[in-house]
Amino acid sequence: MKNVWEEAQFNLRTAAETMGLEPEITERLLTPMRFTEFTIPVRMDDGRKKIFTAYRSWHQDATGPTKDGTRVRPNLTPEEIKALSLFMSIKHAVAGIPAGGGKGGIKADPAALSEGEYERLIRGFMRRLAPKGAFVDIPGADIGTGAQAMAWMLDEYEQMNGFHSPAAVNDKPFELGGSRGGFEATGWGVAACAERAAGELKLAGGRVVIQGFGQVGSITAGALFQSGYKIVAVSDISGAVAAQKGLNIPALVEHVEKTGQVAGFGEASAAPAAALLETDCDILIPAAVQDVITEENAGRVKAGLIVEAANAPTTPAADAVLLKLGRTIVPDVVANSGGAIVCDFERSQGLSNDYWSLEKVREKLRGRILTAYDEARAQAAERGVSMRQGAWINALSKIRAAMMWRGWC
Ligand code: NAD
């Protein structure tokens, strides 16, 4: 398969065939409902005007307003944005969130821009996109954007429309109406799924390896460490560190805060990052980028349980190899849906003006993600398919029902 969009379409087709989804519905979901490519002219610090390319994909809105992230990275492709918008439709449906799937992005390297250039780019994105607000399309953060970018987006939206509407943009700072626990949400959700699956597979308290030690990887590691799991190796773009007795995760987080990388962490030994996924362990958590477990290396993965924190870290061919080997995979659309769940909480809080405590957010997130996990597991067991297929079938059933009720099919 050529790219992540083709892989996403493959997962959709496979689940649709297994459940006998009407071809008309499958066909509709294989293409985004709407997709736009537009340009953003930005005045650079040296006075030049530079044109940036941007995208937004609205996969489907039968299940509610389209929602989710804005990715800024230099090699961004329209296929990636389409795939991510489909994943958001599935993730929202899996987690019982009444929202459709959306995703946006800008082809740019944030590290190559000054703060002023970056701010003008983000504000320009919002002006050119001109989203219609909390009941239609709600942008949020993704790779290359964060709370500050979302604050500028909300400010731009509110200035354009002349009223305050905190629910119109997600992942914003708490002071502008954001939710507590938004930053931790995905990592907490990954850890909750990992613990649930480990308990079922009698791997509780087992040895964990995590690829990627950014927002998701580090929070997941911290939560599992607190629950008594041994994190025996982690990696980031700088390299990998390992310790058979288990890494001291709070100390590693401190080291990364100081140095910006896991490499050089005093009490651990350096490990070859390339072979990290093949480390002897019970639980493997890819939390970096897509397509890292491939047909080529899948046979050497030793973990009995793989929990997909990253989006699409396992190629379909690798998926087949791992399933044949009897490995359990908690798929991305369940495992990393914590961020989407708390974004939904954020929108609810913004609309109701009732802001929740961190404990309430974490407890409700746990309840919601573990229900999604249990439903996917039950569907998989009933049909004798993988948990990935179980989750996709559950999601497609809900989207199908919404389309039927609306009379779209
Ligand atoms: P991040 O940028 O904070 O962290 C990414 C980490 O991966 C960094 O430590 C980086 O050094 C490392 N990395 C990058 N390339 C690597 C490589 N080739 N080998 C090893 N490490 C590498 O990103 P994040 O927010 O933690 O997201 C991680 C993954 O989770 C992404 O795939 C993202 O799409 C997915 N995800 C994130 C969220 C969220 O809420 N942040 C939600 C759903 C899915």
How do residues 173-229 score in pLDDT, each as one tens digit? 999 999 999 999 999 999 999 999 999 999 999 999 999 999 999 999 999 999 999
Q: How many domains does the chain have?
A: 2
Same domain for 139 and 205, yes or no, is no
- pLDDT at residue 339, rounded to an integer: 96
**Ligand 1 atom having least distance to the Cα of 212:** 7
- CATH code for the domain of 291: 3.40.50.720
Does 365 fall in a domain?
Answer: no
In terms of phi and psi (left: phi > 0; alpha: psi -120 to 50; beta: otherwise), the region of 329 is: beta
What is the percent of the chain where pLDDT is above 90? Answer: 94
How far apart, in whole angstroms, are the C-alpha atoms of residue 32 and residue 30? 7
- CATH code for the domain of 124: 3.40.50.10860
Identity of the residue numbered 89: S
What tokens were used for 333? Answer: 């659309």
The domain boundary, picked from 290, 306, 335, lies at 335
Identity of the residue numbered 346: E
How far apart, in whole angstroms, are the C-alpha atoms of residue 283 and residue 230? 10
What tokens were used for 253? Answer: 């987080």
Does 344 fall in a domain?
Answer: no
Answer whether residue 33 shows pLDDT above 80.
Answer: yes
Same domain for 194 and 100, yes or no, is no
Of 4, 68, 236, the residue with max ligand 1 atoms within 8 A of its CB, to mutate for a pocket test, comes to: 236
Task: Give yes or no for residue 220 CB within 6 A of ligand 1.
Answer: no
Q: What H or E segment, with its residue span, contains residue 162?
A: none
Question: Which band of pLDDT confidence, cut at 50, 70 and 90, is reported for residue 155?
Answer: very high
The domain boundary, picked from 275, 300, 335, lies at 335
Same domain for 42 and 130, yes or no, is yes
Pick from 122-131, 257-266, 270-279: least confident: 270-279
Query: SS3 of 174, please?
Result: helix
Same domain for 330 and 308, yes or no, is yes
Of 379, 408, 331, 328, residue with least CA distance to 18: 379
Does 223 fall in a domain?
Answer: yes
Same domain for 328 and 190, yes or no, is yes
Answer whether residue 267 shows pLDDT above 80.
Answer: no
Question: Which band of pLDDT confidence, cut at 50, 70 and 90, is reported for residue 409?
Answer: confident
**How far lies 404's CA from each of 90, 392, 398, 407, in Å?**
17, 18, 10, 5
Identity of the residue numbered 281: C
- For the question of residue 245 being annotated catalytic, the response is no
Same domain for 248 and 125, yes or no, is no
Task: Give yes or no for residue 218 CB within 6 A of ligand 1.
Answer: no
CB 42 within 8 A of CB 124: yes
What tokens were used for 17? Answer: 């065939």
DSSP state of 293: B
Q: What H or E segment, with its residue span, contains residue 104?
A: strand 100-107
Same domain for 259 and 284, yes or no, is yes
- pLDDT at residue 1, rounded to an integer: 73
Range of the domain at 196: 185-335
How far apart, in whole angstroms, are the C-alpha atoms of residue 390 and residue 310? 19
- pLDDT at residue 269, rounded to an integer: 83
State the CB neighbour count (10 A cutoff) for residue 114.
11
Same domain for 264 and 147, yes or no, is no
Task: Give yes or no for residue 213 CB within 6 A of ligand 1.
Answer: yes
Task: Give yes or no for residue 212 CB within 6 A of ligand 1.
Answer: yes
Report the nearest-CA residue for atom 36 of ligand 1.
Answer: 310
Question: Which band of pLDDT confidence, cut at 50, 70 and 90, is reported for residue 364?
Answer: very high
The domain boundary, picked from 335, 363, 393, lies at 335
| Mean pLDDT of the region 30-34 | 97
Does 150 fall in a domain?
Answer: yes
**Ligand 1 atom having least distance to the Cα of 332:** 44
| Mean pLDDT of the region 244-265 | 96
Does 364 fall in a domain?
Answer: no
Same domain for 135 and 250, yes or no, is no
- pLDDT at residue 266, rounded to an integer: 83
Q: Which residue has the tokens 């961004």?
A: 76
**Ligand 1 atom having least distance to the Cα of 292:** 18
Does 76 fall in a domain?
Answer: yes
Task: Give yes or no for residue 336 CB within 6 A of ligand 1.
Answer: yes
Same domain for 145 and 266, yes or no, is no
Answer whether residue 306 shows pLDDT above 90.
Answer: yes
Same domain for 138 and 164, yes or no, is yes
Q: Which residue has the tokens 């990364």?
A: 256
- pLDDT at residue 205, rounded to an integer: 97
Same domain for 155 and 205, yes or no, is no
